[in-house]
Amino acid sequence: MNPKLVFWVPAALRTAIILAGCATLGWMFGWINGLVLALLAMMVMVFVQLTYLYQLSNWMDDPQSAKLPDGWGAWTNIFSRLYRMRRDDEKNQAELTEWLARFRQAMHLLPDGVVIMDDVLFLEWCNPAAEKHLGLTHERDKGMRVTNLVRSPDFMDYIILGRYEQPLTISFRERKLIVHIIPFENRRQILVTHDATETERIEEMRRDFIANASHELRTPLTVIVGFLEIAASEGLDAATRSAHLKLMTEQGHRMQHLIEDMLTLSRLESVDYPMRPEQVDVAKLMEQVLRDARALSAGKHEITMSVNGPDVMGSYEELHSAFGNLASNAVRYTPAGGKIHLVWREFEGGVKFLVEDTGIGISPEHISRLTERFYRVDKSRSRETQGTGLGLAIVKHVLLRHGSTLQIRSEAGKGSTFIVCLPGTAVVQRQPELSLN
């Protein structure tokens, strides 16, 4: 039905009934009395309307505390509709508040920074990531111009030129940031920041790895190709040919060891190669490491060993690779006649494997970088010792897979001590001995 008819028809009927009643009374008791009665009835109706208007005005001023009456006549429909509108408004407000809370929570969890600015770059809101990236504080910096907060010439040029189609990469607060401004609505802009520091570091490591690997492979290949060209173009006597073949064999073995170490490192880093823990016979492992070290030393060093600790859970192959690399490094960097001591012992938090030597030692500034791929303290000496530069990187990844740590104590000219600490959770508990009465 038409809403106008719903309102006007009942009102007209009520007015007609009142006037008809007044006319009837006037006909019965005189027209003057009827008019007075009609006037009184109209005044009552006006008073009722004013009362409802007054209550409506109070309710509009304070909807929470004021209460609307049930109403009479058309007011009943008006008040019921107002109640429904208020109820719907409260429901919508609750949903909006919930969505706003979800939006803010999502913005807080975003790894990328988000800054909302007006058309003249005044800060309106920012999430914690933006505060971290740009050094902002929402409570302190709200209402301030972003260009006064982010002091970067490249960022200023980006703002001045206004070419926001492409993002900008800047170095700010010791971070590599990718920033992008996105206009939205009529008078607002969004500044998005992405921290590319770790990505840049990984990319740099990848470039260094490729460059170093290429260099390490190029050197022995150059030697082998050079000797082959000499052999093809010149007639060599038996002694010279034998010497060349020996050098080519050594360089071939060097390439083989390098490739094997690269494959081992790749396998250790792969998520598709999970470790399968087993009980490692430490006595057997230490004996094998000792034999390998003595074979590499060829009697040039005094190598001793002491084992006083339990077996552990882990990968025998990986632990042998890690311990063997540490022992072989001690042999390579300890002058002939030096001493090397291998130790396996238990301590309060787990077990330790130590390699102590009286070698050339390491200066403090190099210690933190020793586990990087292809990092060498002395490149010329590394070539002499036939090292691949990947041994300690392999050690680091093996220990990470075993939940273990590597400690290095060294002093140039006085030797080094490499300490592997395996946690107590890896220790195999000894079975209690049974006594027979």
Distance (Å, whole) CA 437 – CA 435 = 6
Chain centroid to Cα 102, Å, comes to 21
Same domain, 294 and 240: no
* Digit-coded pLDDT (tens) for 100-110: 888 888 888 88
| pLDDT over 80 at 198, yes or no | yes
Same domain, 146 and 237: yes
- Single-letter residue type at 95: E
Same domain, 127 and 153: yes
Of 273, 291, 324, the residue that ends a domain is: 273
Same domain, 249 and 290: no
Q: What is the CATH number of the domain that holds 360?
A: 3.30.565.10
Same domain, 140 and 193: yes
Tell which residue, 56, 83, 80, has the closest CA to residue 6. Answer: 80
Same domain, 254 and 126: yes
* Digit-coded pLDDT (tens) for 301-341: 999 999 998 999 999 999 999 999 999 999 989 999 999 99
In a domain, residue 97? The reply is no
* 225: containing domain: 111-273
Q: What is the CATH number of the domain that holds 202?
A: 3.30.450.20
Distance (Å, whole) CA 210 – CA 231 = 31
Same domain, 294 and 370: yes
Same domain, 243 and 212: yes
Beta strands in 102-209 (DSSP E): 113-118, 123-126, 168-172, 175-184, 188-195
**Whole-number pLDDT of residue 436:** 41
Same domain, 268 and 306: no
* Digit-coded pLDDT (tens) for 348-378: 889 999 999 999 998 888 888 888 877 777 6
| pLDDT over 90 at 87, yes or no | no
**Whole-number pLDDT of residue 435:** 42
Same domain, 78 and 137: no
Same domain, 188 and 175: yes
Chain centroid to Cα 327, Å, comes to 36
Q: What is the mean pLDDT of the chain?
A: 83
Same domain, 298 and 384: yes
In a domain, residue 99? The reply is no
Structure tokens at 54: 């007054």
| Number of independent structural domains in the chain | 3
Beta strands in 222-357 (DSSP E): 278-280, 302-308, 312-314, 339-347, 350-357
* Digit-coded pLDDT (tens) for 255-282: 887 888 888 888 887 767 788 889 999 9
Of 251, 273, 295, the residue that ends a domain is: 273
In a domain, residue 435? The reply is no
Phi, psi of 136 (to 5 degrees): -95, 160
When pLDDT is averaged across residues 123-135 and rounded to a whole number, the result is 92
* Digit-coded pLDDT (tens) for 392-431: 888 999 999 999 999 999 988 889 999 999 998 888 876 5
In a domain, residue 26? The reply is yes
